């Protein structure tokens, strides 16, 4: 009997086939995938094991850490405030965060925060998971730092600091944490939390790695040193630079990924999940995350004009941290090496991938909202083939 459960519209049978093949080949432990076509839920599938240690099965309401898929949700919150006139996206950060305007950051704009151009991809000192529960303290830490490049002159992936930079827009201008604002404004009826309550953490899927099956150990992730299998395209020069970055503890990539350190249990640590890290800490079901893209595409969160402006490519090209080509609108990834999509999505797709394999995607012309969230951590920092194969099946169904 198939481990996969749920509903799939007959037109999207190919998505179910790909999802089931992942379990049959051992590429999945537990996972879920959901697709909306307009407001119609055409794929809602889940399967496998949520916790390898106990054998607890994955249920329709099992949430899982979605890592950097969080960034798109945080960016959406910031865009909603911009649409309401709370701040000017292209205006100086100092207008609403005066403490930020020091050490060469005086001309930084909100757009620089949202597009990974702020020059603050990593904390200057080690930060603990316990410290990171305080967003005001994390924002103050970053405000006092000097940037690693002049803001606006280059872009480099702010893997974790992004949450307390873009998130400070929300905290200062709404008076709420990112998680509270998101739930109040557009995710109150969705299974999605940035800062989860204990009952949600208890039923969440546990992240795991291939090597932890026998021991039942929690996955201690993310860590830049955990693997070297990032999907980077073809050039051997890029691959060599990536290998060197993974092996160097002082590389921008590892400094960006590994600090704050989540503790011995990695992102299964309840301190992290309660703390609501607004770049990487979201717990969500695939249906809940896909629901955000459904509502974005329907104009129910921000106007479609605002969304179209937000997904315009603001930066494209070599990334100072990820060392591959990346492309960003105002918080949303656009298709590039680090957000690998079928050709059909190249001009119309937007969203965000997450460490370990998760992805959230919307297609502004086709009206598709899709999310995939696994608990078996992939070997790739980005460009997980499981996510790509599912995306390919979605677009094949549309064709």
Type and span of the H or E element at 49: strand 40-51
- Does residue 46 form part of some domain? yes
The sign of the dihedral angle between the CA atoms of 294, 295, 299, 303 is negative
- Does residue 236 form part of some domain? yes
> Distance between CA 201 and CA 199 in Å, rounded?
5
Q: Residue 224: what pLDDT?
A: 32
Q: What does the pLDDT profile of the chain (399 residues) look like in tens digits?
A: 468 999 999 999 999 999 999 999 999 999 999 999 999 999 999 999 999 999 999 999 999 999 999 999 999 999 999 999 999 999 999 999 999 999 999 999 999 999 999 999 999 999 999 999 999 999 999 999 999 999 999 999 999 999 999 999 999 999 999 999 999 999 999 999 999 999 999 999 999 997 543 333 344 333 332 222 333 344 455 555 655 655 566 788 889 988 999 998 999 999 999 999 999 999 999 999 999 999 999 999 999 999 999 999 999 999 999 988 999 999 999 999 889 999 999 999 999 999 989 999 999 999 999 999 999 998 665 568 999 999 999 999 998
Torsion of CA 250, 254, 256, 262, to 10 degrees: -120
Here the tokens at position 349 are 């797709």
CATH number of the domain bearing residue 286: 3.40.710.10
Region of 390 (left: φ > 0; alpha: ψ -120 to 50; beta: rest) is: alpha
Q: Residue 62: what pLDDT?
A: 98
- 3-class secondary-structure state, position 200: helix
The DSSP annotation for 105-153 comes to -TT-BHHHHHTT-SS--S-SS--BTTGGG-HHHHHHHHHTSPPSS-TTS
Region of 67 (left: φ > 0; alpha: ψ -120 to 50; beta: rest) is: left
- Does residue 231 form part of some domain? yes
> Distance between CA 353 and CA 335 in Å, rounded?
10
Note the pTM of the prediction, 2 decimals.
Answer: 0.92
Here the tokens at position 223 are 């860590």
Q: Residue 232: what pLDDT?
A: 35
- Does residue 270 form part of some domain? yes
> Distance between CA 106 and CA 152 in Å, rounded?
12
- Does residue 94 form part of some domain? no
> Distance between CA 215 and CA 211 in Å, rounded?
8
Task: Describe the crossing of helices 162-174 and 135-143 by its angle, rounded to 10 degrees.
Answer: 110
Q: Residue 382: what pLDDT?
A: 58
Residues in the chain: 399
> Distance between CA 273 and CA 298 in Å, rounded?
30
Do the beta carbons of residue 382 and residue 319 sit within 8 Å? no
> Distance between CA 137 and CA 139 in Å, rounded?
5
Q: Residue 241: what pLDDT?
A: 62
* Structural domain range at position 229: 4-72+185-398
> Distance between CA 233 and CA 235 in Å, rounded?
7
- Does residue 323 form part of some domain? yes
Here the tokens at position 381 are 């920092």
Q: Residue 237: what pLDDT?
A: 59
Which residues have C-beta within 8 Å of that of residue 139, sequence separation ≥ 6?
A: 97, 164, 165, 167, 168, 171
Name the domain count of the chain: 1
> Distance between CA 232 and CA 377 in Å, rounded?
18
Q: Residue 323: what pLDDT?
A: 87
> Distance between CA 156 and CA 326 in Å, rounded?
9
Task: Describe the crossing of helices 13-24 and 385-398 by its angle, rounded to 10 degrees.
Answer: 160
| CA nearest neighbour of 293 among 280, 283, 302 | 302
- Does residue 329 form part of some domain? yes
DSSP annotation of 381: S
What strand order describes the sheet that includes 64-65?
A: 64-65, 283-284, 192-193
């Amino acid at each position: 009997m198939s481990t996969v459960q749920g509903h799939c519209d007959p037109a999207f049978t190919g998505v179910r086939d790909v999802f089931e093949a992942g379990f049959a080949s051992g590429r999945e432990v537990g996972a879920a995938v959901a697709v909306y076509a307009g407001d119609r839920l055409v794929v809602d599938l889940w399967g496998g094991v949520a916790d390898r240690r106990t054998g607890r099965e994955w249920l329709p309401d099992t949430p899982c850490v979605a890592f950097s898929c969080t960034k798109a949700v945080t960016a959406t919150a910031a865009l909603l405030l911009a649409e309401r006139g709370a701040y000017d996206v292209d205006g100086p950060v100092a207008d609403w965060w005066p403490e930020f305007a020091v050490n060469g950051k005086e001309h930084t704009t909100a757009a620089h925060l949202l597009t990974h151009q702020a020059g603050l991809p990593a904390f200057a000192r080690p930060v603990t998971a316990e410290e990171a529960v305080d967003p005001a303290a994390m924002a103050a830490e970053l405000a006092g730092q000097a940037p690693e490049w002049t803001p606006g002159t280059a872009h480099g992936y702010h893997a974790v600091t992004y949450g307390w930079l873009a998130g400070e827009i929300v905290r200062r201008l709404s008076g709420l944490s990112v998680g509270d604002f998101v739930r109040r404004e557009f995710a109150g009826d969705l299974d999605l939390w940035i800062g989860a309550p204990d009952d949600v953490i208890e039923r969440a899927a546990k992240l795991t790695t291939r090597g932890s099956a026998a021991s039942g150990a929690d996955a201690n992730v993310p860590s830049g040193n955990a693997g070297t299998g990032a999907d980077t395209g073809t050039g051997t020069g890029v691959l060599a630079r990536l290998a060197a970055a993974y092996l160097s503890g002082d590389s921008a990539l590892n400094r960006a990924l590994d600090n704050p350190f989540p503790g011995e249990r990695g992102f299964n640590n309840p301190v992290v999940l309660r703390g609501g890290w607004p770049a990487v800490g979201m717990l969500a079901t695939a249906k809940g995350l896909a629901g955000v893209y459904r509502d974005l595409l329907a104009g129910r969160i921000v106007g479609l004009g605002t969304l179209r402006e937000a997904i315009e490519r603001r930066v494209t090209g070599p990334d100072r941290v990820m060392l591959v080509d990346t492309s960003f609108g105002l918080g949303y990834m656009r298709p590039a090496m680090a957000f690998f999509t079928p050709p059909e999505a190249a001009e119309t797709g937007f969203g965000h991938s997450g460490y370990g394999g998760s992805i959230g995607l919307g297609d502004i012309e086709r009206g598709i909202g899709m999310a995939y969230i696994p608990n078996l951590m992939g070997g790739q920092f980005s460009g997980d083939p499981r996510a790509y194969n599912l995306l390919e099946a979605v677009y094949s169904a549309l064709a």
